[in-house]
Amino acid sequence: MAYTTIDNPELYFQAKLFTGNGSVASSTQSITFDGSEDMQPDWVWFKKRDTAEDHELFDSVRGVQKAIDSNNTNAEATGRGLTSFNSDGFTVGNGSSAGNQGPTNEINKTFVTWNWKAGTSFTNDASSTGIGSIDSAGSVNNDAGISICTHTGTGSTATIKHGLSTAPKMIITKKRSATGGWQVGHESIGWGNGVYLNDTDASTGDAGAWNSTAPTSSIFTVGNSSFTNQSSATYVSYIFAEKQGYSKFSSYTGNGNADGSFIYTGQKSAFIIVKNTSSSTNWEMFDNKRVGYNESNWHLKPNSTDAEDVGTVRLDILSNGFKIRTTGSNLNTSGNTYIYMAFAESPFTNSNGIPNNAR
């Protein structure tokens, strides 16, 4: 039996809660992680919990104070709240004006962030290396199976080096230079189809996004879609390969029963996102910090500005997977297909073959 190679997922992913202090334009706050390991994040995703507000996403490849919002189609905004990526967390301020403090540091408001480490920079001159057909650059961590990759579109089918050493199972791409939806590719729906992180639509045929071509261990393919490859437009992609006991990208079928399906992931998850790909529904996202215990896992929606929903039980996070606890269409319509991504708090079985304690 093969075991995980990641005994401590906190080296690569951590969720963090904090309360804003941004009362004036000069306010700053250094946020440090609670876990046993320091980690310098390369991708930080913010959401205000107690009030409706945009999700704001920052990464070290695009640079500080450059935000994109998962709940809308806006182009990248500059002068926003994250001012540095630190060895044990990050620093937030107000951005260029008091109006920019809301999504990242508004005084007395509660926030959650989800944080990933990549860490190894790469650039690829496609004409020199022969890998891919257009240039790319980014930050990658092959141990954790994550790449943050940027490219400039050509308007016609192209291949792009992603930096990983194994084939990705999920890609999220956003146009930076102009408005455009968040294109999501996922192995479980096939690379001729797509969904969008910023809206509720079911999966539809979308050959133009990935040219109906699965990514390989070195490249991913884009077609002529404006969401992934408009001529001269700039893009960022968050790209994931699966790592046993640390990350899982798969699907399940709803049963329409409040005693819902158990989904085996091989890990106790710290973060889960789910989307019904059969029907028009909201995405759902959960983590191990907001409350983080069963049966009261509070949830947010990456496609919506909505505040945290604390009123309805949705799922249990278990030592080796998660179990659905609702009949709601976002998670459990009978016969519908649901894709998910999940990152671990701890593996079910560590690298020495020792099982985790049950939750």
Please state the rounded mean pLDDT for residues 226-232.
Answer: 98
Q: What is the pLDDT of residue 163?
A: 98
Name the strand (E) or helix (H) holding 139: strand 136-141
Q: What average pLDDT is seen over the chain?
A: 92
Q: What is the pLDDT of residue 79?
A: 86
Q: What is the pLDDT of residue 353?
A: 79
Tell me the per-residue pLDDT of 272-331, one tens digit each, with 9 for 90 and over.
999 999 999 999 999 999 875 666 578 899 999 999 988 776 889 999 999 999 999 999
**Residue closest to 267 by CA, chosen among 146, 162, 359:** 359
Percentage, residues of the chain above pLDDT 70: 93
Q: Is the pLDDT of residue 335 over 70?
A: yes
Between these two residues, 345 and 351, which has the higher pLDDT value? 345
Q: What is the 3-state secondary structure (H, E, C) of 60-103?
A: CCCCCCEEECCCCCCCCEECCCEEEEECCEEEECCCCCHHHCHH
Q: What confidence tier does 184 reach under pLDDT thresholds 50, 70, 90?
A: very high
Please state the rounded mean pLDDT for residues 168-175.
Answer: 98
Q: What is the pLDDT of residue 1?
A: 47
Give the CA count within 13 Å in the CB-facing half-sphere of 342. 32
Q: Is the pLDDT of residue 242 over 80?
A: yes
SS3 187: helix
Q: What confidence tier does 2 reach under pLDDT thresholds 50, 70, 90?
A: low
Task: List where CATH 2.60.40 sits in the chain.
Answer: 129-240
Q: Is the pLDDT of residue 358 over 60?
A: no
The pTM of the full predicted model, rounded to 2 decimals, is 0.95
Other Cβ atoms less than 10 A from the Cβ of 347: the count is 27
Q: What is the pLDDT of residue 359?
A: 40
DSSP 220-268: EEE-S-HHHH-TT-EEEEEEE---TTTEEEEEEE----SS--EEE-SEE
User: Peptide bond before 10: cis, by omega within 30 degrees of 0?
Assistant: no
Percentage, residues of the chain above pLDDT 90: 81
**CATH number of this structure's domain 129-240:** 2.60.40
Tell me the per-residue pLDDT of 93-107, one tens digit each, with 9 for 90 and over.
875 444 556 689 988
- Residue at 308: amino acid letter: E
